[in-house]
């Protein structure tokens, strides 16, 4: 029996741009994407102090529309999409019957009967298939527009300053987790004030055939303001400082929203039933066996994914993500620990190459942008 041919990764529609800029290209979630250009530290600091431009075209865009689109999504997800006003968005999740997280999502209400669900690249097919199944029986249809959509994001404190001259939209009038339809740099786009960095910024959803033009025009307009291209490496350090979970690290099928500290996202009070409701009601009632926390290392060392977290008696948890924080100048991590050890101020340790390194539980996020 012959082995099946491996599936070749999908190139970003902007791959030629990234290569021309000297980016290091890696395979990520089935895509060829830039991990860094000038270097992770420089790119990270640019986003914190000026602005960075991201290619997020690997994300999944799933449009659900029809007279019962909202009801269908309410039955499929743990949040209540019908409660969204047109032009608003919220963070959501799709869970299995046992309450395990299949993916975390952002749901945008584009019109009264039209929603866009944005899924992680690694789970886009899983989410698309699950939604198609869960929409059955509702007057709603699913249109997977992932490969037809390009996504370019500008993030950082100078984002509005750079982007506003390119559009007639009032960007300051778009609230955080808001979305508006308009023209940016001569290209039709859905403009969302969302992101994954802890900074202000916008995500531009455009036709994939115009993703390159969008990238070029925004980058050209922003260079004088300190805008530089940013890869997946700095995107990870930025989201970790902001305490934002990453699917495959902090979230997975063995994790429920309450363990991840995201129980507020679960809308048990909404009128309709939804997949995973019984399991999540039980967790809400009975409590959790582990809790996601922030850790700051108080001795030299960097905690990495999978490293054990120790208390005086032995292993109490595991690191899910860790790095040396470029903004804060010390090592940070997120980890699951026993609830008894989840209070800020609790002293634990991370086992790093056989050595117990002191770590303190701290509130998330580690970094909050200046107001």
Residues 196, 322, single domain; the answer is no
- Tokens 């120790």 belong to which residue? 310
Residues 185, 296, single domain; the answer is no
Residues 266, 336, single domain; the answer is no
Residues 52, 129, single domain; the answer is yes
Q: What is the CATH number of the domain that holds 344?
A: 2.40.30.110
Q: Is the Cβ–Cβ distance between 171 and 190 less than 8 Å?
A: no
Mean pLDDT confidence for 201-209? 98
Instruction: Domain of residue 296: give its range.
Output: 289-371
pLDDT in tens, 45-88: 999 999 999 999 999 999 999 999 999 999 999 999 999 999 99
Residues 243, 347, single domain; the answer is no
Residues 207, 240, single domain; the answer is yes
Enter the tokens of residue 236.
């990870």
Residues 201, 279, single domain; the answer is yes
Residues 273, 306, single domain; the answer is no
- Tokens 């082995």 belong to which residue? 3
CB-facing half-sphere around the CA of 150: CA atoms within 13 A: 21
Question: Confidence class of residue 4 from pLDDT cuts 50, 70 and 90?
Answer: low
Residues 226, 236, single domain; the answer is yes
pLDDT score at 205: 98
Residues 271, 325, single domain; the answer is no
Residue from 197, 174, 172, 171 nearest 184 by CA: 171
What is the overall mean pLDDT for the chain?
97
Backbone angles phi, psi at 52, to 5 degrees: -130, 150
pLDDT in tens, 165-192: 999 999 999 999 999 999 999 999 999 9
Residues 165, 210, single domain; the answer is yes
pLDDT in tens, 259-276: 999 999 999 999 889 999
Question: Confidence class of residue 26 from pLDDT cuts 50, 70 and 90?
Answer: very high
Q: What is the CATH number of the domain that holds 65?
A: 3.30.1360.120
Mean pLDDT confidence for 90-117? 98
pLDDT score at 3: 63
- Our count of domains for the chain comes to 2
Residues 319, 240, single domain; the answer is no
pLDDT in tens, 123-145: 999 999 999 999 999 999 999 99
> Domain end: 265, 287, 309, which one?
287
């Amino acid at each position: 029996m012959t082995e099946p041919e491996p599936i070749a990764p999908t190139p970003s529609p902007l791959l030629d741009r990234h290569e021309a800029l000297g980016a290091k290209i890696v395979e990520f979630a089935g895509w060829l994407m830039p991990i860094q250009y000038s270097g992770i530290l420089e790119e990270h600091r640019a986003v914190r102090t000026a602005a960075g431009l991201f290619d997020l075209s690997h994300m999944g865009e799933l449009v659900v529309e029809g007279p019962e689109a909202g009801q269908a999504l309410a039955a499929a997800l743990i949040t209540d999409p019908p409660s969204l006003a047109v032009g608003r968005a919220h963070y959501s999740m799709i869970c299995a019957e046992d309450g395990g997280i299949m993916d975390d999502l952002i749901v945008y209400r584009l019109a009264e009967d039209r929603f866009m669900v944005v899924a992680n690249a690694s789970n886009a097919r899983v989410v698309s298939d699950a939604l198609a199944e869960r929409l059955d029986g509702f007057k709603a249809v699913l249109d997977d527009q992932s490969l037809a959509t390009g996504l370019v994001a500008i993030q950082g404190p100078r984002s509005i300053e750079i982007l506003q001259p390119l559009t007639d939209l009032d960007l300051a009038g778009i609230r955080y987790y808001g979305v508006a339809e308009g023209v940016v740099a001569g290209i039709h786009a859905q403009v969302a004030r969302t992101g994954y960095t802890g900074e202000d910024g916008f995500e531009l959803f455009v036709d994939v055939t115009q993703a390159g033009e969008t990238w070029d025009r925004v980058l050209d307009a922003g260079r004088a303001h300190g805008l530089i291209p940013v890869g997946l490496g700095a995107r990870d350090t930025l989201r970790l400082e902001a305490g934002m979970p990453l699917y495959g690290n902090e979230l997975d099928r063995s994790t429920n929203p309450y363990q991840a500290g995201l129980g507020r996202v679960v809308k048990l009070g909404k009128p309709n039933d939804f997949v995973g409701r019984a399991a999540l009601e039980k967790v809400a009632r009975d409590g959790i066996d582990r809790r996601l926390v922030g850790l700051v290392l108080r001795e030299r060392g960097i905690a990495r994914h999978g490293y054990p977290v120790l208390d005086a008696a032995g292993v109490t948890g595991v690191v899910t993500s860790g790095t040396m924080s470029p903004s804060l100048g010390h090592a940070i991590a997120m980890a699951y620990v026993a609830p008894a050890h989840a209070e800020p101020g609790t002293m634990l340790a991370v086992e790093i190459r056989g050595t117990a390194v002191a770590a303190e539980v701290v509130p998330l996020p580690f970094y909050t942008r200046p107001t």
